[in-house]
Structure formats: structure tokens, C-alpha cells
Chains A and B, each alone.
Chain A
Amino acid sequence: MIMAEPVEPRESELPVPEEESTLVRRARKGDLAAYDDLVKRYQERIYATIYHMTSNHEDANDLAQESFIKAFQALKSFKGGSTFYTWLYRIAVNKTINFLKQRKNRTHMSLNDIDFNAEHDPDLMALISDNTPRRAAGLTELQKKLNEALLKLSEPHRLVVVLHDVQGESHEEIAKVMDCNIGTVRSRLFYARQQLQGYLNDYLK
């Protein structure tokens, strides 16, 4: 009887979580190249979440870098109970919330530019081209008003809106990141949207 030789699965066939766990294992041993891959994989999402929470590019840059550094230093304590992404998200969110609590009442916005695609988004164009007061406001003005309204929310409410309505995360993932149950996420999201509707009433008619 001829035994078929076990075939090693090609790298492209490996499921993503396993690949991530391999990178994490290598990074835990001090392999900075592996950690560089992990940083590249999640940098945009981590940066975007922090940026939408702070409305300040410089703060978001510092906090995102510090989150990745802290995660690398704490990799030994990562037990694998959740995905690396959720664990990393938790570090970034805790760091951001602590930062926002410390800088309370010292809000300074430093907003990023709006990309070219926004001008071709029919929904956004509809918001600024109707015969309403919002017509006068260009995209930049709308962006400023939107960020000001977000900054009026408490940190947990802002985080839920950012993660769900901006980042497109699921309720389950948000619950894991915020270490609370899904019901809490839903109720916070409802309350936060109500608040935002009140603040942005002129732009939502």
C-alpha cells in the first residue's frame, strides 16, 4: 500500500487567523519583521479609530504609535483568548479614552483632508446641494460640524458610533473591544445617535 505523502498547505491557502497567530508567535520571540507585518495589517484601522475619537491628526498619530509599542511590550501577556486584532483594539481604545479624560476641556481639532471620492459620493452631495441652510456649507464646513458634534458625546458613546457607523464593526466585535454586553452596545448606539441627531438637526432635514 502506497501512502500519500502529506502535502504542506501553501501559504495562500492558510486561513487568516492561523497566519496571524504565526506572526504573533514570531513577534513574541522578538521578531520585529513579523511585528512590522502586524503593524502594517492594522495600522489604518487603529489610526482611524483614534483619529475619529480625537478629531486630531497629531494626537492620533502619537496614540496609534504608542498603542502598537505598548502592544509589542505586552505581547507576552497576550493569552490568545481573543484575536490579536481585538486585543490590540482594546489597548488602543483604553489609551485613547485615558488620553481624552486627561485633556478634557482642551479640545483642539486638527482635521485631515477629505479625499477626492467624497465629492462623488451622491449621499454627501445630496446633503450639501439641497435648498436648505446646509447648501451653503461645503464639505469642509460639514466635516467641522460633524466632528464638533461627535466631540460633544461622552467617550463610550462616541466610541460606539465611531466603531459601528464609521468603521463598520459589528455589535459583537464592539462588545468584545469595550468589554461589555451587546445590549449595552445597542443602547449606547441608540442614545448616541439620538444625541447626534439633535446636534446636527440642520443638516439632516
Chain B
Amino acid sequence: MNQDENNFESLRRLLALKRHEIPPPGYFNRFSAQVINRIRSGEAAPASVSERLHAEAPWLMKFLQIFEAKPAFAGAFAFALCLFLVFGTVLAERPDYSTPQPLLQTAESSSASVAAVSQAVLPQPNDQTLLASGSSSNSASSLQPVASMFGQQNPFAQQVSFSPSGN
């Protein structure tokens, strides 16, 4: 490092000229008063978006600064993001074959329940005696014609009475 310092010695002497650049006379006598007056009047330039980010999310600014310093990182990040999106899209559109068993089971169980309902509702061959007795109050399962429809008497309908064979 000392070698570097020697190499740049003349440059450092030239840069010393900057220390001789001074603002107009009396400038610093007024400076603090101007600052305090501006604070008192509540005047301040509105914070820019990047300033607000610096204050509120310094990690995000550091992240962006990495991209700014090394554009290759930005390219790699963008590529990885695109890859992730494409992979996600393909995965979402692919038909799912991984769970056929539960579906079949559901179908079987649903057909079984339908059969159970139909058994309960529809008359079975063994229930002939029940049907013949006419004691059922279930109109849906009754084979009797409807006596009146829309409030009108059906002229062709006849009252029929069944009586059990034993009586």
C-alpha cells in the first residue's frame, strides 16, 4: 500500500487544491441560522421514494445496489424468476394422476348410497302384500290413479276398493 501511496503522491498534492476552494465570505456565519429558520417554519423538501426506502427498508436498497453494481446478478435473478414462473405454470396445467384411488372410492360409495335410497323408495318384489293392502300413504309409490287433477273429477276414474282375501 505504501508503494501505491508513493505512486499517487503527485496526484494527492494536486487534490490538495480542492481544500483551498472556499465558499463566499461569511457563508458559514449565516448557514446555521438558515437551517434553524427552515426547521422552525417546518419547511423541508418532501422525501423522495428512494430516500424513504433508504430510511424504511435499507435491506431492499442494499439488494437493489447489488443489482446495480453487478448487472450479471440482475440477469441471473430475472432468469431464475422466469424459470420459476414457467415451472409453476407447467405444474399447474398438468393433469393430476396421483390420486385416482380416492376418486374411485368416492364413486363406489356414491353408487352404494344411490342403491340404498332406491331400495328404500322403490317397491321391491317381496313387498307385493304391502302394495296390495293399499295401506301405504306414500302417493309416490302408490299405483292408484289420481282421483282428481287440477280440481276436476276424472269421469273415467272409478272408485275401487280392495279387501284382504281373508275377510
Provide 12 A-B residue pairs closer than 8 Å at the C-beta atoms, listed in order of the A residue. Answer: A39-B36, A69-B43, A69-B44, A73-B44, A98-B51, A113-B21, A117-B20, A118-B20, A124-B17, A139-B17, A146-B17, A196-B15
Considering only residues 13-39 of chain B, those with a C-beta below 8 Å from chain A are 13-24, 27-28, 31-36, 38-39
Assess whether A47 is interfacial by the CB under 8 Å rule: yes
Considering only residues 184-205 of chain A, those with a C-beta below 8 Å from chain B are 186, 190, 193, 196-197, 200, 203-204
Kindly state the separation between the CA atoms of A126 and B17 in the bound complex, as whole angstroms: 12
Check if B32 sits within 8 Å of A121, measured CB to CB: no
Assess whether B48 is interfacial by the CB under 8 Å rule: yes
Assess whether A127 is interfacial by the CB under 8 Å rule: yes
B24: chain A residues at CB < 8 Å are 57, 112-113
* Closest 10 A/B residue pairs (Cβ): A118-B20, A39-B32, A123-B13, A112-B21, A165-B15, A166-B18, A68-B35, A193-B8, A204-B10, A114-B20
Kindly state the separation between the CA atoms of A121 and B33 in the bound complex, as whole angstroms: 33
Least Cβ–Cβ distance between B156 and chain A, in angstroms? 97
Least Cβ–Cβ distance between B24 and chain A, in angstroms? 8
B35: chain A residues at CB < 8 Å are 36, 39, 65, 68-69
Question: A18-44 interface mask toward B, CB cutoff 8 Å, 1 = contact, 0 = none?
Answer: 000000000000001001100110011
Considering only residues 63-110 of chain A, those with a C-beta below 8 Å from chain B are 64-66, 68-70, 72-74, 77, 94-95, 98
Least Cβ–Cβ distance between A199 and chain B, in angstroms? 10
Tier of interface size on chain A: 35 or more
Kindly state the separation between the CA atoms of A74 and B55 in the bound complex, as whole angstroms: 9
Check if B14 sits within 8 Å of A64, measured CB to CB: no
Check if A146 sits within 8 Å of B14, measured CB to CB: yes
Considering only residues 152-205 of chain A, those with a C-beta below 8 Å from chain B are 161-162, 165-166, 186, 190, 193, 196-197, 200, 203-204
Kindly state the separation between the CA atoms of A70 and B51 in the bound complex, as whole angstroms: 10
- Tell me the dominant secondary structure on chain B's binding face: helix
Assess whether A151 is interfacial by the CB under 8 Å rule: no
A123: chain B residues at CB < 8 Å are 13, 16
Kindly state the separation between the CA atoms of A74 and B51 in the bound complex, as whole angstroms: 12
Check if A66 sits within 8 Å of B44, measured CB to CB: yes
A117: chain B residues at CB < 8 Å are 20
Are A115 and B34 CB-contacts (below 8 A) given A66-B44, A193-B8, A204-B10?
no
Question: Of B4, B14, B36, which is within 8 A of A36 by CB?
Answer: B36
Least Cβ–Cβ distance between B13 and chain A, in angstroms? 4
